[in-house]
């Protein structure tokens, strides 16, 4: 029997969340003092959840593998955060944000969750401003907005190109307030290595102290996983080096279903890779597509000349450029959603029009924006006969004010000045929409175990819109989980402290220790990175931007054999009883080697194209949409929730049928 | 290019530690500095030796986790970058590069190049926040207009990534730039005014307790700061501190 009960409240979609909040059980403040909650991960979701739960009165234990909660990878989010404030008066509303998110997710998300997200979005901005987050402002002193892909309104709030940083520091400051009060006990440089179940409920975790190597038992009445996404399964991604699937994968192995692993976002604007030594890819914010125009040369001769260094992109005239997004999608142009933009770049590069040595790069050009802003500034300053140079210089200043830090970042990595020559970009793995399956309460299929933020699957369907990850992380942590978890914990007011000297904790600890010893004692011949790179190559080539049956079947076999080889031949030097960075990596890669297989299996099962998941077998064959991805609502309008049964290949598929009562299912058109 | 690396190796906090020389060959100028260290570590691991431990995470200059004192400079010879954004094109074939941890009494070494910067967290916990509940029952975000120049200046101060380069580079191991940045961010915003006095007193007291030195206005911190935090934040903190001390209840 399937355990999939989404627990969506009854009633009209607009009232669900309000009615739900009115009806749930609460825990009185005196009792909250006797209840412990563990939060794993301190990004936007985990940090905001830990702070809010502590403020409500629960005793929180928060864990992160970094040396400080402020370093979680939410910090790297650049562009902004969406909210249905309609400050611009351009027709935005909660409904429109809800609609855009469901449509942008290619109708593969759960309506009720998305509507709730849109509802609480406005609170987030109020909250963050109250916390002192320095959002960008207009000259009148009010908040500024910009546009992101896939929408027709300006609803994105931002703090230069460092929005994630500022929001995370806001959540971190809220955590600090609670740490100072003793309501959050913070465990830096700790990694969760298993969840402990007592009578079927999540009652604690086993964690490794990454400084001393000590294996620790921590108990609680509920466990919240906020450990982010699994993009590093590709080895190269825009994730931080330490980002991993381990916490999510451990709870999966203990009974939490893993949903839609194949929904991965390949972000269109990243700095192209340059060599085999490369350790990560760097994102250039989607906000750049507000002002940057994407193109490749129209003529193959020009492509050749550029690659051989005989021609500069600025020397190619307008009529010889192919602004392929504007050509193919006139309504949205350069601001089509990410999946569409990525595939279009791949299409051009596969056709041979890539503009760097590897053939995997397209231009993102600010020339037109610089000229437009420059002319505007010249008018404002009353310069009647401004020279071209003056206009360019004025325009560059405007662009610098908007994106200065991104341009600087680009210049440092590539050693080219993006004000003078177009940026080169190419898609890269960025975000994972899939994740641990959760119900409306954000609870996994393990009672008392929750998953929030990127770690869960619920809000973005098959494709996430830009500036929505920050929104979801903070919505889950500040405004959703603190309510829903109370409903569960209200049954625990008489439970008392959970002891850790029980057989359940003992067994979990032993399993963790055994596995660590196995890795350290294996003494093989190959490094952890050797296996991780091989896994990444299989994932990128066969489970990347474009997938087909043959490739996916091969991928499954190849991943199985890499995994077998890993366990027989991996070399982890050093000891387990102290800081050992190779051991940390080994544990994470071992889990990626299992997840990767489930990922490919899920992609194989879903024989339709939707959002970031593109199956070559499922494309529109004729009409205006010819060549575009073809969704199959008749057969695939469900969430794939996988149950672990021993090996990824034996995972059992459970289906949560998606119902669309408020939004009509349509083909996504951005033409 | 081929390089000689002289790297600080220290087994754990108790170990005395020493510089050890390593050779790396065929380093591309397009590599980042940390990718060059990855190459070294792959070599070491392949021969069964323990890799050099160093802190790093986002590798795009924003998380503040990477550190390193390279040829006597925090985050190395380039300006306005963290170590992860430093590229090998800043070096030449045949160079000998000295790589040490950030050194300060308040940043004890944990292993090799990894140091403990939790003192920074404790300073933030002493007052680096606005005491507002996260329940969402706050007033509308546009209810308090903030002059753009103030908002922009607050943002400039808020970009501090807490890496500790200012401390490592300061001859007094002072954390004034770090603390000044946070104090300034809140001092410039109306939301921060309410608790301004307590904040600056508590944060500065904690800073002293952690064993950071005082500021002698040399300005090396501003030069080495990867985010260009301005020395004026220290001036603002001093003013806040002074006015808080003379008006204390």
B24 and B99 share one domain: yes
Do A583 and B51 meet the contact criterion of CB atoms below 8 Å apart?
A: no
Residues of chain B neighbouring A473 (CB-CB closer than 8 A): none
Q: How far apart are CA A217 and CA A194, in angstroms?
A: 10
At A150 the pLDDT is 77
What single-letter DSSP state applies at residue B13? S
B123 and B225 share one domain: yes
Q: How many helices (H) and strands (E) in chain B?
A: 9, 7
The pLDDT of A592-599, averaged and rounded, is 98
**B46/A571 Cβ within 8 A:** yes
Label residue A308 exposed, middle or buried (CB < 10 Å: 0-12, 13-18, 19+).
exposed
What chain A holds in terms of domains, given with CATH numbers, is 269-429 (3.90.700.10), 503-637 (1.20.58.100)
Each residue's pLDDT tens digit, B153-170: 999 999 999 999 999 999
Checking DSSP bridges between strand A215-219 and strand A201-209, what pairing results, if any?
antiparallel
B212 and B135 share one domain: yes
Nearest CA in chain B to A175: B125
The pLDDT of B101-120, averaged and rounded, is 98
User: Is the pLDDT reported for residue A361 higher than 90?
Assistant: yes
**B56/A241 Cβ within 8 A:** yes
Q: Decide which of B62, B83, B111 is a domain's last residue.
A: B111
Q: Under DSSP, is residue A656 helix (H, G, I), strand (E, B) or coil?
A: strand
Q: Out of A141, A177, A242, whose CB is closest to B145?
A: A141
B240 and B123 share one domain: yes
| Confidence bin at A405 (pLDDT 50/70/90) | confident
3-state percent breakdown (helix, strand, coil) of chain B, nearest 5: 40, 15, 50
CA distances in angstroms from B149 to A130, A139, B146, listed in the order given: 18, 8, 8
Q: CATH code at B195? A: 1.10.1060.10
**A85/B158 Cβ within 8 A:** no
Q: Out of B116, B132, B146, whose CB is closest to A131?
A: B132
Do B141 and A126 meet the contact criterion of CB atoms below 8 Å apart?
A: yes
| Confidence bin at A251 (pLDDT 50/70/90) | very high
Q: Decide which of B84, B111, B138 is a domain's last residue.
A: B111
Q: Out of B63, B138, B158, whose CB is closest to A134?
A: B158
The pLDDT of A588-601, averaged and rounded, is 98
Q: Out of A126, A277, A413, whose CB is closest to B38?
A: A277
Nearest CA in chain B to A569: B46
Residues of chain A neighbouring B162 (CB-CB closer than 8 A): 68, 70
User: Is the pLDDT reported for residue A372 higher than 80?
Assistant: yes
> Which run of H or of E encompasses A94?
helix A94-104
Residues of chain A neighbouring B130 (CB-CB closer than 8 A): 130-132, 173
Q: Out of A139, A527, A581, whose CB is closest to B46?
A: A527
**B200 CA: distance to closest CA in chain A (Å):** 15
Q: Decide which of B72, B94, B111 is a domain's last residue.
A: B111
**B87/A415 Cβ within 8 A:** yes
Looking at beta carbons, which pairs linking B222-226 to residues 24 or more positions away fall under 8 Å? Answer: B222/B177, B223/B79, B223/B169, B224/B73, B224/B74, B224/B75, B224/B165, B224/B166, B224/B168, B224/B169, B225/B160, B225/B165, B225/B166, B225/B177, B226/B61, B226/B75, B226/B80, B226/B81, B226/B82, B226/B85, B226/B161, B226/B163, B226/B165
- For residue B247, which of B179, B201, B188 has the smallest C-alpha distance? B201
Top residue of B128, B134, B147 to mutate, by most chain A CBs within 10 Å, is B134
How many domains are there within chain B? 2
Q: What percent of chain A has pLDDT over 70?
A: 100
B21 and B90 share one domain: yes
The pTM score is 0.97
Q: Out of B56, B152, B192, whose CB is closest to A132?
A: B192
The pLDDT of A321-338, averaged and rounded, is 94
The pLDDT of A593-615, averaged and rounded, is 97
Residue with tokens 């940083």: A165
B61 and B183 share one domain: no
Mean pLDDT for chain B overall: 96
Label residue A102 exposed, middle or buried (CB < 10 Å: 0-12, 13-18, 19+).
buried
**A356 CA: distance to closest CA in chain B (Å):** 15
**A409/B132 Cβ within 8 A:** no
Give the range among A91-100, A188-197, A636-645, A659-668 with minimum mean pLDDT.
A659-668
Q: Where are the beta strands (DSSP E) in A98-164?
A: 156-157
Q: How far apart are CA A60 and CA A187, in angstroms?
A: 11
Token reading at A506:
């003992």
Q: How far apart are CA B209 and CA B106, in angstroms?
A: 10
For B37, the domain range is 3-111
Could you tell me how many CB contacts below 8 A there are between chain A and chain B? Answer: 220
The pLDDT of B50-68, averaged and rounded, is 97
At B135 the pLDDT is 77
Label residue A311 exposed, middle or buried (CB < 10 Å: 0-12, 13-18, 19+).
middle
**A150 CA: distance to closest CA in chain B (Å):** 25
In the sheet that holds A435-436, the strands lie side by side as A435-436, A258-259, A638-643, A652-657
**B158/A169 Cβ within 8 A:** yes
Mean pLDDT for chain A overall: 96
Question: Which of residues A148 and B229 earns the better pLDDT score?
Answer: B229
**B138/A129 Cβ within 8 A:** yes
B70 and B146 share one domain: no
Q: How big is the CA angle at B121 (ends B116 and B125), to the nearest 5 degrees? A: 155
CA A381 to chain centre: 43
The pLDDT of B203-229, averaged and rounded, is 97
B39 and B143 share one domain: no
Residues of chain B neighbouring A67 (CB-CB closer than 8 A): 55, 65, 116-118
Q: Where are the beta strands (DSSP E) in B78-197?
A: 96-100, 109-111, 114-115
At A2 the pLDDT is 60
Does residue A146 have an active-site annotation? no
B31 and B76 share one domain: yes
Nearest CA in chain B to A49: B134
Each residue's pLDDT tens digit, A8-22: 999 999 999 999 999
> Which run of H or of E encompasses A21?
helix A16-23
At A148 the pLDDT is 82
B228 and B105 share one domain: no
**B120/A127 Cβ within 8 A:** no
Residues of chain A neighbouring B42 (CB-CB closer than 8 A): 527, 529
| Confidence bin at B212 (pLDDT 50/70/90) | very high
Label residue B177 exposed, middle or buried (CB < 10 Å: 0-12, 13-18, 19+).
buried
Label residue A515 exposed, middle or buried (CB < 10 Å: 0-12, 13-18, 19+).
middle
At A419 the pLDDT is 96
B124 and B235 share one domain: yes
| Confidence bin at A563 (pLDDT 50/70/90) | very high
Each residue's pLDDT tens digit, A635-658: 999 999 999 999 999 999 999 999
Residues of chain B neighbouring A137 (CB-CB closer than 8 A): 145-148, 151-152
- For residue A357, which of A316, A408, A303 has the smallest C-alpha distance? A303
**A514 CA: distance to closest CA in chain B (Å):** 21
| Confidence bin at A1 (pLDDT 50/70/90) | very low
At B249 the pLDDT is 66
Q: CATH code at B58? A: 3.10.20.30
Q: Out of A70, A72, A408, whose CB is closest to B80?
A: A408
Do A424 and A414 meet the contact criterion of CB atoms below 8 Å apart?
A: yes
The active-site residue out of A338, A343, A563, A606 is A338
- For residue A396, which of A413, A417, A371, A422 has the smallest C-alpha distance? A371
The pLDDT of B129-147, averaged and rounded, is 91
Q: Which residues contact A172 (CB under 8 A, 6 or more apart)?
A: A42, A47, A69, A70, B124
Residues of chain B neighbouring A169 (CB-CB closer than 8 A): 158
B150 and B233 share one domain: yes
Each residue's pLDDT tens digit, A271-280: 998 888 999 9
The pLDDT of A278-286, averaged and rounded, is 91
Residues of chain A neighbouring B154 (CB-CB closer than 8 A): 132, 134
**B126/A573 Cβ within 8 A:** no
Each residue's pLDDT tens digit, A420-466: 999 999 999 999 999 999 999 999 999 999 999 999 998 999 999 99
**B30/A274 Cβ within 8 A:** yes
At B7 the pLDDT is 98
Residues of chain B neighbouring A129 (CB-CB closer than 8 A): 138, 141, 144, 191
Each residue's pLDDT tens digit, A22-51: 999 999 999 999 999 999 999 999 999 999
**A176/B129 Cβ within 8 A:** yes
């Amino acid at each position: 029997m399937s355990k999939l009960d989404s627990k969506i409240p009854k009633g009209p979609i607009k009232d669900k969340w309000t009615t739900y909040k009115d009806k749930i059980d609460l825990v009185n403040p005196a009792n909250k003092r006797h209840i412990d909650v563990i939060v794993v991960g301190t990004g936007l979701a985990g940090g905001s959840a830990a702070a809010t739960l502590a403020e409500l009165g629960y005793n929180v234990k928060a864990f992160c593998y970094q040396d400080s909660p402020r370093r979680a990878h939410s910090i790297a989010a650049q562009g902004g955060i969406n909210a249905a404030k309609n400050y611009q008066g351009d027709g935005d509303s909660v409904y429109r944000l809800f609609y855009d998110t469901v449509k942008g997710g290619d109708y593969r998300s759960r309506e009720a969750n998305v509507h709730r997200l849109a509802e609480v979005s406005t609170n987030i901005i109020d909250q963050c401003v109250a916390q002192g987050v320095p959002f960008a402002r207009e000259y009148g002193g009010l908040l500024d907005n910009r546009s992101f892909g896939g929408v027709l309104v300006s609803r994105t709030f931002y703090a230069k190109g460092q929005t994630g940083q500022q929001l995370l520091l806001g959540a971190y400051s809220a955590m600090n307030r609670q740490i100072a009060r003793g309501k959050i006990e913070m465990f830096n440089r700790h990694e969760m290595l298993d969840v402990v179940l007592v009578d079927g409920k999540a009652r604690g975790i086993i964690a490794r102290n990454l400084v001393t190597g000590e294996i620790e038992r921590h108990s609680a009445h509920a466990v919240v996983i906020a450990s982010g996404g699994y993009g590093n399964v590709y080895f190269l991604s825009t994730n931080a080096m330490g980002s991993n699937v381990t916490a999510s994968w451990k709870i999966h192995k203990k009974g939490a279903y893993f949903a839609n692993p194949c929904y991965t976002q390949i972000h269109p604007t990243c700095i192209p890779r340059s060599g085999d030594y490369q350790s990560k890819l760097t994102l250039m914010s989607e906000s750049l597509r507000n002002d940057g125009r994407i193109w490749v040369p129209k003529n193959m001769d020009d492509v050749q000349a550029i690659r051989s260094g005989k021609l500069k992109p600025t020397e190619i005239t307008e009529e010889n450029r192919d602004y392929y997004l504007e050509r193919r999608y006139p309504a949205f142009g350069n601001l089509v959603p990410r999946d569409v933009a990525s595939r279009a770049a791949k299409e051009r590069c596969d056709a041979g029009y890539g503009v760097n040595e590897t053939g995997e790069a397209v231009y993102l050009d600010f020339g037109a924006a610089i000229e437009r802003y420059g002319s505007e500034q010249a008018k404002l300053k009353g310069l009647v006969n401004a020279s071209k140079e003056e206009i360019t210089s004025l325009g560059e200043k405007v662009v610098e004010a908007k994106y200065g830090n991104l341009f600087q970042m680009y210049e440092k990595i590539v050693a080219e000045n993006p004000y003078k020559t177009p940026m080169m970009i190419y898609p890269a793995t960025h975000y994972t929409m899939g994740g641990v399956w959760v119900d409306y309460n954000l609870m996994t299929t393990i009672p008392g175990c929750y998953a929030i933020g990127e770690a869960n699957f619920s809000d973005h369907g098959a494709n996430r819109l830009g500036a929505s990850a920050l929104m979801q992380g903070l919505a889950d942590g500040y405004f959703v989980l603190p309510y829903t978890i109370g409903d569960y914990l209200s049954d625990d007011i008489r439970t008392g402290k959970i002891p850790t000297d029980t057989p359940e904790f003992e067994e979990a600890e032993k399993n963790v220790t055994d596995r660590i010893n196995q890795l350290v004692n294996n003494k093989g011949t190959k490094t952890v990175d050797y296996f991780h790179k091989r896994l990444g190559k299989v994932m990128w080539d066969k489970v990347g931007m474009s997938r087909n049956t043959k490739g996916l079947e091969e991928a499954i076999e190849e991943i199985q054999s890499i995994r077998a080889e890993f366990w027989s031949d991996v070399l982890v030097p050093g000891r387990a009883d102290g800081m050992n960075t190779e051991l940390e990596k080994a544990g994470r890669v071992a889990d990626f080697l299992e997840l990767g297989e489930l990922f490919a299996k899920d992609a194989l099962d879903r024989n339709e194209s939707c959002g970031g998941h593109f199956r070559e077998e499922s494309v529109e064959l004729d009409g205006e949409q010819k060549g575009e991805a073809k969704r199959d609502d008749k057969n695939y309008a469900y969430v794939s929730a996988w149950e672990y049964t021993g090996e990824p290949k034996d995972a059992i598929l459970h289906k949560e049928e998606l119902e669309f009562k408020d939004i009509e299912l349509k083909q996504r058109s951005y033409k | 290019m081929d390089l000689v690396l002289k790297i600080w190796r220290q087994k754990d906090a108790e170990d005395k530690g020493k510089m050890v020389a390593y050779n790396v060959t065929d380093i591309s100028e397009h590599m980042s500095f940390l990718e060059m260290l990855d190459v070294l570590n792959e070599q070491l691991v392949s021969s069964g030796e323990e890799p050099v431990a160093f802190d790093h995470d986002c590798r795009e200059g924003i998380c503040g986790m990477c550190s390193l004192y390279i040829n006597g400079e925090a985050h190395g010879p380039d300006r306005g970058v963290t170590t992860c954004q430093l590229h090998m094109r800043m070096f030449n074939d045949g160079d000998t590069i000295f790589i040490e941890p950030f050194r300060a009494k308040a940043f004890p070494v944990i292993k090799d190049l990894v140091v403990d910067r939790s003192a920074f967290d404790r300073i933030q916990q002493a007052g680096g926040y606005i005491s507002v509940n996260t329940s969402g029952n706050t007033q509308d975000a546009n209810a308090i207009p903030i002059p753009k120049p103030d908002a922009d200046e607050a943002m400039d101060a808020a970009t501090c990534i807490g890496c500790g380069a200012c401390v490592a580079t300061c001859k007094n191991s002072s954390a004034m730039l770090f603390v000044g940045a946070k104090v300034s961010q809140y001092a410039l915003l109306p939301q921060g005014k309410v608790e301004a006095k307590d904040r600056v007193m508590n944060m500065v007291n904690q800073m002293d307790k952690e064993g950071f030195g005082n500021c002698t206005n040399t300005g090396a911190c501003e030069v080495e700061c990867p985010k260009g935090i301005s020395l004026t934040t220290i001036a603002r903190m001093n003013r806040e501190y002074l006015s808080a001390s003379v008006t204390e209840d």
